[in-house]
Amino acid sequence: MVPSSASLAAQLQDQLAEGHPVWLQVGRLFTGQDTSVPGEGHLVIDRETIGYAGSAAPQVDKIRPGQTGPDFHLPNHTALPGMTDAHTHLFLEGGETDTDARSAYLKLSPEEQLQHATNRLERLVAMGITAVREAGDKVGVGLTLQARYRSAARGIMPYVDAPGAAINHEKRYGSFMARPMEEQGSPAAAVADRVTAGSHRIKLLATGIINFAKGTVTAKPQMPADELTAFVSAARGHGQQTMVHCSGNDGVDNCIAARVDTVEHGYFIDREQLARIRDLDMVWVPTIAPVQFQFEHPECVGWSPEVCDNLRRIVDDHKTHLAHALEIGVRVVAGSDAGSHGVAHGWGFIRELELMQDAGLSATQVLHTATGAGVDRMGYAERFGVLAADAKARLILTSHDVLSSVSHLRDKKIVVFDGAAFGAHEPESVPGL
């Protein structure tokens, strides 16, 4: 009899608690390092790290003395790395779709917003999201959680990487998550302020947002190319990367000219820009889910049929460019913009992955964007997102065919994280994400 997910998770956790290496043999081993469809594989893990991952059985120095076979033989299971949502706002509750309730939420105290964000953390791990890259908040929730993660008493929570307050211009888009550069007076001073506050990267708002009624970006970019270049130079002087909110062709051009590290959103990008992003080894984080929600649920925002047509066209074009980006070798990393209207933490990320597959990507291409695609480029403080020796022992085990359809990430699975093993997660209907 095949044990249930809960039973298998309990057995795994008991074995890991004994403090010796645990050897798993699985039917398919997706390492996250590329997009290939894997075959049978072996993993040796302890509470902290992966000691071995490969198609052949491990050598004797990787396992317990005298051990002759795996601790767990799981021929019907696929192992894959824990996933990273590379664009989130933990201080926002994306699962709340009522606009009045969302407005009230923004008026909560920083302490209340922090408590709501804290309540999400273990839930995310249980879903297989073992790292999050925050995308800015001006009340310090992300920075507090980043510091907590690095403390000895952090408990079960994903790796958190945070920029603190994003940087915008006065009276321009982003006041709910940003503080204007004018407070410090120059790009160099604004970057130094964020570094002093504890940021691990610099978040810039290079443009406004899409005018859905017009079906395009109508406002000129917030930051011209020379200003973005100054921000990039200042950030690199502190050893930090730049993640840049940007939509609109002109804004993307400015980001490329400044050689920012990551273009976030990138709506209305074109093929020539994608080729330049590839050649400069920049990263694109496309975030389909927030706009998809707007036209799937116009009743939540009051959109007319004409606006919904605009939204559908915008998303369809974005998906077309996403497929082309993967085809030509752009480094694409998955991020959901969780916390945005209708994009719940955790579930919104799985929806983002589904939308990427809907765009024409294979399931393994999508899973690569959620795991190893950014591991050597994003400047994280730890090595995760791959099943490889010396990486963090944070992984998903599933008997469902996630290598054919990422929707199976919604099904029951086991998540192994720092010696803990989860065999169940809450249904999507549970509020708070």
The DSSP annotation for 149-164 comes to HTSTT--S--EEE---
Do 62 and 75 fall within a single domain?
Answer: yes
Whether 410 is covered by a domain: the verdict is yes
What is the model's pLDDT at position 4? 83
pTM of the model: 0.97
Length of the chain: 433
Tens-level pLDDT at each residue, the chain (433 residues):
567 888 999 999 999 999 999 999 999 999 999 999 899 999 999 999 999 999 999 999 999 999 999 999 999 999 999 999 999 999 999 999 999 999 998 899 999 999 999 999 999 999 999 999 999 999 999 999 999 999 998 999 999 999 999 999 999 999 999 999 999 999 999 999 999 999 999 999 999 999 999 999 999 999 999 999 999 999 999 999 999 999 999 999 999 999 999 999 999 999 999 999 999 999 999 999 999 999 999 999 899 999 999 999 999 999 999 999 999 999 999 999 999 999 999 999 999 999 999 999 999 999 999 999 999 999 999 999 999 999 999 999 999 999 999 999 999 999 999 999 999 888 998 999 9
User: How far apart are the C-alpha atoms of 308 and 292, rounded to whole Å?
Assistant: 10
Do 109 and 51 fall within a single domain?
Answer: no
Whether 28 is covered by a domain: the verdict is yes
DSSP classification of residue 13: H
Whether 98 is covered by a domain: the verdict is yes
CATH of the domain at 271: 3.20.20.140
Whether 429 is covered by a domain: the verdict is no
Do 340 and 407 fall within a single domain?
Answer: no
SS3 82: coil
Long-range pairs of 294-298 with CB within 8 A, sequence gap ≥ 24: 294/212, 294/341, 294/342, 297/97, 297/342
Do 201 and 296 fall within a single domain?
Answer: yes
Contact 29, 43 (CB under 8 A): yes
What is the model's pLDDT at position 2? 60
User: How far apart are the C-alpha atoms of 344 and 340, rounded to whole Å?
Assistant: 8
CATH of the domain at 45: 2.30.40.10
> CA angle, 342 as apex, 133 and 332 as ends, to 5°?
40
Contact 47, 419 (CB under 8 A): yes
Do 14 and 119 fall within a single domain?
Answer: no
Whether 250 is covered by a domain: the verdict is yes
Do 263 and 411 fall within a single domain?
Answer: no
User: How far apart are the C-alpha atoms of 320 and 355, rounded to whole Å?
Assistant: 12
Whether 77 is covered by a domain: the verdict is yes
User: How far apart are the C-alpha atoms of 179 and 184, rounded to whole Å?
Assistant: 10
Whether 60 is covered by a domain: the verdict is yes
Contact 66, 117 (CB under 8 A): no
In the chain, the amino acid numbered 383 is R
SS3 76: strand
Total domains in the fold of the chain: 2
What is the model's pLDDT at position 425? 86
Contact 391, 352 (CB under 8 A): no
Do 131 and 213 fall within a single domain?
Answer: yes
Do 262 and 148 fall within a single domain?
Answer: yes
Structure tokens at 308: 């919904």
Full residue range of the structural domain in which residue 30 is found: 5-81+385-422
User: How far apart are the C-alpha atoms of 83 and 384, rounded to whole Å?
Assistant: 9
User: Is 56 buried (19+), middle (13-18) or exposed (0-12) by CB count in 10 A?
Assistant: exposed
Compute the half-sphere exposure of residue 254: CA atoms within 13 Å on the CB side of its CA: 25
Beta strands in 230-347 (DSSP E): 242-246, 262-265, 283-285, 331-332
The sheet with strand 414-417 has its strands ordered as 50-54, 41-45, 22-29, 72-81, 394-398, 414-417, 420-422
Do 201 and 241 fall within a single domain?
Answer: yes
